[in-house]
Amino acid sequence: MNASKDGAIVDAKKRYAPGVLKYRQMGYWQPDYEPKETDVVCVFRITPQEGVDAEEAAAAVAGESSTATWTVVWTDLLTACESYRAKAYRVDRVPNTGPGTNSEQQYFAWVAYDLILFEEGSIANLTASLIGNVFSFKPLKAARLEDIRLPVAYVKTFKGPPTGIVVERERLDKFGRPLLGATMKPKLGLSGRNYGRVVYEGLVGGLDFTKDDENINSQPFMHWRDRFLFGMEAVNRAQAASGEQKGHYFNITGATMEDMYERAEFAKELGSCIVMIDLVVGWTAIQSMANWSRRNDMILHMHRAGHGTYTRQKNHGVSFRVIAKWLRLAGVDHLHAGTAVGKLEGDPMTVQGYYNVCRDGYTKADLQRGLFFDQDWADLRRVMPVASGGIHAGQMHQLLTLFGDDVVLQFGGGTIGHPAGIQAGATANRVALETMVKARNEGRDIAVEGPQILAAAGRWCTPLAQALETWKDVTFNYASTDTPDFVPTATASV
């Protein structure tokens, strides 16, 4: 690509003469720029309009996500404008796009931002720059924020998860296995009293957690206070019956912050160990609830409701790995991050990339998992990923192989839809889980032997045998939309 053509104009008189310049003439394309340790670095996937070359498009992304406007302004000269300009410094063609493929030519544009551009500890401010105007910008047909490298200096301005994986386990006294949960079904229509029944049956059968669904707030059929009161009766009964700590994620999402605080306070007063919010409440509300949770020893569960509107399509939006990074900074303890094998979107490698972002102390760049950057998390607490949506006991070996121990496995239909009842469904899942962990620790190859290991446990555990029989043929084998761009190429052996 021709880097010298229309390069940055260095003569100040020409540069600031009134009129319109190309973004790269304004200094937003700097192919020689080496990102500093303290820069925020982003990779955007861009699809330029016909006639817009890749470098100009990348420069436009840098410009529109930092200082630029459409025309030259002399007031730049009142500032140390070199610092405030984002710098596009690299453009790569996206593999398998462009002529000869069934997709338009796309590019990865690498853009660096000076730390001075961002308010400390504010995801709202960070996102207003990085995904503000730029995504509606006409010279681009489409743009997607693929990944972000956050400098340690910026990470340290965030408090991160209020509880984190380690402290959650210490509080609950549960070590050495994934946690088990279930979302209460039907999602809508149960009265508070009926709802508490489902909670009780699930927990007493062997689950660690039950969960409100994303759209359970305070509708005519069930006022939130009724749900909380009956729910806590169920939690306490199950705790006494099992001698084991239990919890229910009460969804405290509401119309205003005042409503959310009121609901959170009530959950705390009743002795709940965990509350939940939906992603749709927005970054500011999320950070406020994280602060509240820190002050009140509460685990904060995040349901990523709505994310599919901007994370799923590869050509436009924001990758979920970026959303996961922002949520870890903003401070949530649980985050729905996909199942790979269930009913919702998620290529296995890509989903593992999200899990790494949630749980690593230091995330290594891993293109096959969609991770473009090394990321030092600076000892920020770790987020417990949640696998939820269309999974069942028969997939336990796959889930444990894909995700390891630090995950909440949530079987909603896979618990409540059990032919012998909710308790039996919960027991089937817990037995399947403990059986698989035991076998893995004993050195068995569960990815291969999983089905036989489950069948053997089914011979002494009838609920598990019934679960395996009921869901034996259920899979969701559809091609994923959001897949890795990079696959390993075989090297000829010598």
Residues that bind another protein (CB under 8 A): 166, 169-170, 173-177, 206, 225, 229, 232-233, 236-237, 239-245, 269-271, 361, 379, 382, 427, 430-431, 434-435, 437-438, 441-443, 460
Q: Is the peptide bond before 186 cis (omega within 30 degrees of 0)?
A: yes
- Please enumerate in sequence order all residues whose Cβ is within 8 A of that of 212, keeping only pairs 6 or more positions apart, or say none: 183, 184, 227, 248, 249, 250, 251, 276
Can you read off the two tokens belonging to residue 443?
């050195």
CA-angle at 167, arms to 164 and 173, nearest 5°: 130
Question: Would you give the end-to-end CA distance of the chain in angstroms?
Answer: 36
d(Cα 474, Cα 413) in Å, to the nearest integer? 12
197: phi then psi, degrees, rounded to nearest 5 = -60, -45
Whichever of 225 and 343 has its CB closer to another protein, that residue is 225
Task: Please choose, from the candidates 374, 345, 370, 316, the residue with its C-alpha nearest in 3D space to the C-alpha of residue 484.
Answer: 370
Residue among 211, 246, 248, 303 flagged as catalytic: 303
- Residue 233 Cβ vs another protein, minimum distance, rounded to whole Å: 7
Residue among 185, 316, 343, 438 flagged as catalytic: 185
Whichever of 235 and 337 has its CB closer to another protein, that residue is 235
If residue 354 lies in a helix (H) or strand (E), which one and from where to where?
helix 348-359
Q: Point out which residues pair with 90 in neighbouring strands.
A: 110
DSSP 118: S
Whichever of 155 and 285 has its CB closer to another protein, that residue is 155
- Residue 246 Cβ vs another protein, minimum distance, rounded to whole Å: 9
- Residue 229 Cβ vs another protein, minimum distance, rounded to whole Å: 5
263: phi then psi, degrees, rounded to nearest 5 = -70, -40
Catalytic residue flag (residue 185): yes
- Residue 167 Cβ vs another protein, minimum distance, rounded to whole Å: 8
Whichever of 323 and 436 has its CB closer to another protein, that residue is 436
Can you read off the two tokens belonging to residue 405?
């121990």
Whichever of 316 and 438 has its CB closer to another protein, that residue is 438
d(Cα 197, Cα 193) in Å, to the nearest integer? 7
- Residue 166 Cβ vs another protein, minimum distance, rounded to whole Å: 5
d(Cα 97, Cα 104) in Å, to the nearest integer? 6
Catalytic residue flag (residue 303): yes
Whichever of 96 and 242 has its CB closer to another protein, that residue is 242
Q: Is the peptide bond before 99 cis (omega within 30 degrees of 0)?
A: no
- Residue 228 Cβ vs another protein, minimum distance, rounded to whole Å: 10
Could you list the active site residues? 185, 303
